């Protein structure tokens, strides 16, 4: 009898362990750990600096989350194709994927800029991503891919703070000083600043500083204090203006060839998507640390004068946006459809967010003095 009880106890414990083990095995991804990893060739639009770090952070998460079964081979700027050709290369399967921004394929459709460098409706980049993820933006993005017959799957990651107006040869005290200046920007911002009387040149990031040094352009923006410092903008200008509506919200776009993506295991598809969300949060936190530190260095080590962009400039930017949006709404029904979706979401969310937001500037100045 004792032997029977022992046998039964042994069966129950080993059987329970076997059931638990079977349940655990059933919950594991259906991926062969011993097999060679699936490798995706992904080109970044960045040759170095913090933007390349952001791309590397995404890749690191994908590679580690997959446990070695999926590997992204990240290629630097120009490794296979030029930046302007990256989206086409992914569409055709020359590349498996790319890490870029939508403004870089603005020439295919002005609507592209609305998913990264569109008009400001009182919202930030984080709120732009809220519209993309939960306010109908992602469905409109997919509709745009379909309309353009692009064989792509895309994810958005990394809300960028409002971009500075940029670097000038002298302090800008009023909107009139900007008329006639040769200025670098991209996307719909080029149309807006041209409407304000500027002569706009669209250049890739690595060409901005040499162009300003040689006199090809009079003024320029790229994105943030860290990237601007890395480009050496402090060596060609000592006048840096923060705050602008020309690109007040933007985020990275991570694209994959759709046929390649659809052939991946469901677990791998999920990793590629969810890693973009995890990297997005980390990027926002990292930017807080790095951008503020590098702004201090630009001022204290390199003698850069930092100004808040005058209200007259920003008010004229909004007026120019009104003209540009009206023009594109009239010529492109899909552009109008996206704008209307954005405005409806921004109006509803903004009523909550702006009324709920306390006076952070007042609190800052209470403790640290006038800005």
Residue 186: predicted pLDDT:
85
Here the tokens at position 241 are 């203006």
pTM: 0.87
Average pLDDT of the segment spanning 72-81: 96
Contacts of 39 (CB under 8 A, 6+ apart): 71, 72, 73
Evaluate the CA torsion angle 362, 364, 367, 371 in order and state its sign. Answer: negative
DSSP for residue 263: T
- Residue 87: which of 272, 263, 258, 255 has the closest Cα? 255
Which superfamily does CATH assign the domain made up of 38-160+249-288 to?
Bacterial extracellular solute-binding protein, family 7 (3.40.190.170)
Q: Can you tell me whether residue 97 is helix, strand or coil?
A: strand
- CA distance linking residue 15 with residue 29, whole number of Å: 23
pLDDT at residue 84 above 70? yes
Segment 125-154, tens digit of pLDDT: 999 999 999 999 999 999 999 999 999 999
Largest CA distance in the chain: 101
SS3 sequence of 105-122: HCCCCCHHHHCCCCCCCC
Average pLDDT of the segment spanning 52-77: 96
- Residue 371: which of 234, 226, 243 has the closest Cα? 243
Q: Work out the mean pLDDT of the chain and round it to a whole number.
A: 90
Any idea where the domains of the chain sit in the sequence? 38-160+249-288
Count of Cβ atoms closer than 10 Å to residue 357 Cβ: 8
pLDDT at residue 300 above 80? yes
Average pLDDT of the segment spanning 335-349: 97
Evaluate the CA torsion angle 200, 206, 209, 212 in order and state its sign. Answer: negative
Segment 187-245, tens digit of pLDDT: 899 999 999 999 998 887 888 999 999 999 999 999 999 999 999 999 999 999 999 99
227 vs 24: which has the higher pLDDT: 227
Segment 241-269, tens digit of pLDDT: 999 999 999 999 999 999 999 999 999 99
Residue 227: predicted pLDDT:
94
Residue 34: predicted pLDDT:
54
Average pLDDT of the segment spanning 311-329: 96
Q: Which residue has the tokens 């920007």?
A: 185
Compute the 3-state secondary structure of the chain and give helix, strand, coil in percent, each to the nearest 5: 55, 15, 30
Residue 205: predicted pLDDT:
80
- The gap between the terminal CA atoms of the chain, to the nearest Å, is 85
Question: Among residues of the chain, what percentage have pLDDT more than 90?
Answer: 85
């Amino acid at each position: 009898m004792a032997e029977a009880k022992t046998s039964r106890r042994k069966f129950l414990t080993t059987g329970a362990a076997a059931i638990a083990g079977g349940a655990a095995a059933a919950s594991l991804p259906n991926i062969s750990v011993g097999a060679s990893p699936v490798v995706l060739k992904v080109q970044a639009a960045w040759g170095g600096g913090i933007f390349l770090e952001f791309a590397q952070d995404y890749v690191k998460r994908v590679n580690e989350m997959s446990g070695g079964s999926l590997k992204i081979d990240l290629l630097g700027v120009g490794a296979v194709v030029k930046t302007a050709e990256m989206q086409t290369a992914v569409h055709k399967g020359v590349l498996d994927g790319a890490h870029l921004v939508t403004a870089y394929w603005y020439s295919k459709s002005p609507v592209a800029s609305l998913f990264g460098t569109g008009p400001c409706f009182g919202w930030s980049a984080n709120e732009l991503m809220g519209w993309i993820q939960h306010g109908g933006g992602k469905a409109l993005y997919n509709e745009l891919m379909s309309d353009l017959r692009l064989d792509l799957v895309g994810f958005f990651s990394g809300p960028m703070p409002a971009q500075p107006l940029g670097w000038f040869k002298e302090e800008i005290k009023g909107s009139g000083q900007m008329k006639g200046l040769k200025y670098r920007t991209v996307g719909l911002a080029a149309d807006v600043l041209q409407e304000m009387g500027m002569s706009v040149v669209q250049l890739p990031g690595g060409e901005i500083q040499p162009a300003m040094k040689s006199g090809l352009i009079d003024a320029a923006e790229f994105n943030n204090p860290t990237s601007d410092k890395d480009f050496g903008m402090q060596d060609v200008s000592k006048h840096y203006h923060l705050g602008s509506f020309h690109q007040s919200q933007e985020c990275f776009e991570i694209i994959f060839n759709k046929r390649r993506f659809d052939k991946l295991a469901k677990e791998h598809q999920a990793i590629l998507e969810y890693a973009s969300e995890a990297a997005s949060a980390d990027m926002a936190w990292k930017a807080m640390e790095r951008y503020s530190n590098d702004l201090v260095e630009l001022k204290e080590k390199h003698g850069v004068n930092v100004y808040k962009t005058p209200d007259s400039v920003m008010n004229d930017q909004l007026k120019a946006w009104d003209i540009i949006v009206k023009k594109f709404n009239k010529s492109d029904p899909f552009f109008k459809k996206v704008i209307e979706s954005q405005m409806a979401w921004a109006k509803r969310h903004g009523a909550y967010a702006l009324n709920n937001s306390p006076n952070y500037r007042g609190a800052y100045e209470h403790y640290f003095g006038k800005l």
